[in-house]
Amino acid sequence: MTPNEKVWLEQAETAVAGASILSNESARDVSKHALRELFKLTNNDPELSLNLVKQIKDFSARRHLMEMFRRTLVEVSSDNIPEILLDSGNFEDKIFANQFDRELLILWRKSGKEPKKIQKLVSTFPNAARIRILKRLNSIEFQKKRKIRYVVNNSLFANREKNSKTINLVTIVIFIAFLAILFGY
């Protein structure tokens, strides 16, 4: 064990144990920060990092670090994983659902729109996040949003720029004809 690892052990144990006295939420935040530092120290080596976490003597500190270990490893080692895909939120909240679906749609496109590739992409995610993503991917709400965004973004308005002058001219002519009929009688 290197001197930097010993220092990390002492500081992480003290910080996480102290934060767990305040609340579980603050202990999770401190654990996440401590684990990010650990992964920098070990060059993202999960086995070495896990062995260091196991050496922490304080049970509550070790429990919080173990709870956040996989999630933090995914965040650190993966390319730009949006935080919202890992969060546990309520899909009844429309803002959360729209943000989650937007990021899931990006992930869906990145995987070539194939379910097996998405399963492979999310296989390293924490269990709860992976299950939530796969359930949402198969949900009726997401499939509707996926179809709507496809129609709006790709096929329905694909030639909008080419036809905009014609559409504007026809709209003006119809509007003038409507005014003539309305005020002519």
pLDDT at res. 163: 59
Domain boundary among 34, 57, 77: 77
Mean of pLDDT values over 63-79: 81
Residue range(s) defining the domain that contains residue 105: 83-138
Task: Give the residue from 82, 183, 101, 100 showing the smallest Cα distance to 144.
Answer: 101
73/87 same-domain check: no
Q: Report whether pLDDT(148) > 80.
A: no
Selection from 62-71, 137-146, 160-169 with the highest mean pLDDT:
62-71
Full-model pTM: 0.53
123/58 same-domain check: no
Specify the number of domains making up the chain.
2
Q: Report whether pLDDT(86) > 70.
A: yes
High-pLDDT (> 70) share of the chain, %: 89
